[in-house]
Structure 1
Amino acid sequence: MTLAPWQEEAWRLLAARRARGAMPHAILLCGAPGLGQRDFAERLGAWLLCEQDGDTPCGTCRACRLYAVRTQRDPEETRPDGALAQPHGHPNHPDARFVGYAWNAKASPKKMYGELVVEQIRELSDWLALPPQFGRAQVALVEPAEALNVAAANALLKTLEEPGPGRHLILVTTQPARLPATIRSRCQRVELHPPALATAEAWLRGRGIADATARQALVASDGNPGQALEWIEADKLKLRNEVAKDLRELSAGIAAPFEVAQRWSRDEADLRLRFAAALVQQQGRVQAQAASSAPAGGPLALTRAVDLAKLAAWFDRANRTRDLLRGPIRPELAMLELLGAWPTTRASDGGVQSGVK
């Protein structure tokens, strides 16, 4: 597990803290999806357990070798989107534990929990109360931390309030605001940020990505190189272009919200909404920088500026709709309500129209 260029500063700060004996017992590792928080956290766990006192895990001691040996549970644990809950598996080191989405053994038929539950945290707390088997430290990685339900978060708070020596909790999240303030305040926040554009382009180029494709993907991902690479490899930029086209046609009154809602709800609804929210955010930035009398342009290529307040309101609605889709609501209805509120830009409306209601 090597560090990406944009992770190096965060690692240096943690190494400096450890060198002066001020390593926090609880770390909240956060940042946008695609910046490699999970890999960073697993590397951090290896370092805290490593039997050598360097600034990085040695990779060769008994602790590092055991930590590197991974296994998946049978049946495999998965996230709500179908991805592996533990991407690299659970470590075989006795003093390391990964907590994530797990099977509900009490359910009949057996099924995965859709959140992190209190039983998992109570089991973790009991484990942390035991002495480390290797005598050096214990490391627990909780991811995604924002999936903790209320009871689980309250149980974790008790563990955070009474840390034992050599016990380390690493909470990984892309949505820190969804965690209770009481938990956030008891953790040392470590945030990963996208690098400078030149650094991101060089990193993608080093992975065989053509310059033009890299630039397009970095624009789509708001400068996030890890996310850009994921979308390139999965050929998702075509979907972003389709979402932009749909929004332009809705603005012009060419497309009907009902038809677009049906299409979006049937295929990769969450990613479509994520692209839509990002496009609107980028559009707002372009308009904020342009003269009010000038054509807006921007990623949506609007010929007239849409009121920034309307764009901001729609951005918020798009993100709320993403949350709604995780529940029992019919996706086509949630999409229709969202797209019906999309602001249009017709000349007859003086440049702004509230959209279909």
Structure 2
Amino acid sequence: MFFASDNSGPVHPQVLAALSEANAGYAMGYGDDPLTLQVQERIRELFEAPQAAVYLVATGTAANALALATLCQPFQTVFCSPVAHIHEDECNAPEFFSGGAKLTLVPGGDKMTSAALAATIAKENTRGVHGPQCGPVSITQVTERGSVYSLDELRSLTSVARKHDLPVHLDGARFANALVRLSCSPADMSWRAGVDALSFGGTKNGLLGVEAVLFFDPDRAWEFELRRKRGGHLFSKGRYLAAQMAAYLTDDLWLISARAANAACDRLAAGLRAAGAEFAHAPDANMIFAAIPRAVHQRLHDAGAVYHLWDGALDGDDPQEMLTARLVCDWSISNARIDQFLNVLNS
């Protein structure tokens, strides 16, 4: 009953097999191996973007921070949600890699709205040389609270950015989970929606550790390459990153894994609703924020359930106080484990 994070799940066996196969013999380093070139071309095909520049890095933070640094001058600011991963969970990496660019938080909740984004950009445009200059807009899809932007919502945000001539970055650590929920194409949820740069995640969806960075404008490519090298994120044995991504994209493994995680989340959410849990956000993909009484949390933890409490403490005086759990399903969680959790919940 492990629901702490989709980062904590196992690597898919097909990915491990691909790594073993890639380990045979010798290959050129630093991304000049045939497998890396094949993966880059496969991603271009997948996104219907033949001119896109595609690069592999090992972590989501590297993907986000290096992409934003490429889009952003040090005297600019990045517009993002108050709960964006780049703000809450990356230890100022975007600021560091950009050489000092700041983040400006767009007021509101989990999702940014176009009205709030427009108002925030307008506010930053009032101080001339004395204030930060407007830089990229960064959107998280799936959001850090488990919500999925519709295509119309994405286009609305990118339209605001376009009016101010600002580039758009999409943090797609859970890109696949959002894609299968919306039943659209990768192009529809990226460059066709107005996205300029994408962090295309894999680690949370069954890979050992690899993310792709896409620039739909290839003129950004050389600067990103320099930043990746200078930042210590150019792998010498790049074929081991490429092998993971190759397996991920073979026979739709990335989509199959995301559908499995989303379906598990749907099953868990249905059981929680039936038990009277209160949902803080719509569980659109593979993540749930649900409030249940402290006594129920204690019972679940005693039974071996592993997940994070988002507010409050497990030990407290009021057994009926409602505490919010963050529950995340990965590709490997079984129906049996979900039903075990729900049985304890309802016991």
Structures share a fold, TM > 0.5? no
Greater RCO (Cα-Cα under 8 Å, separation 6 or more):
2
Q: Which is greater in Rg? A: 1
TM range (shorter): 0.3 to 0.5
Judging by fraction of residues, say which structure has more strand.
2
TM-score by length of 1: 0.33
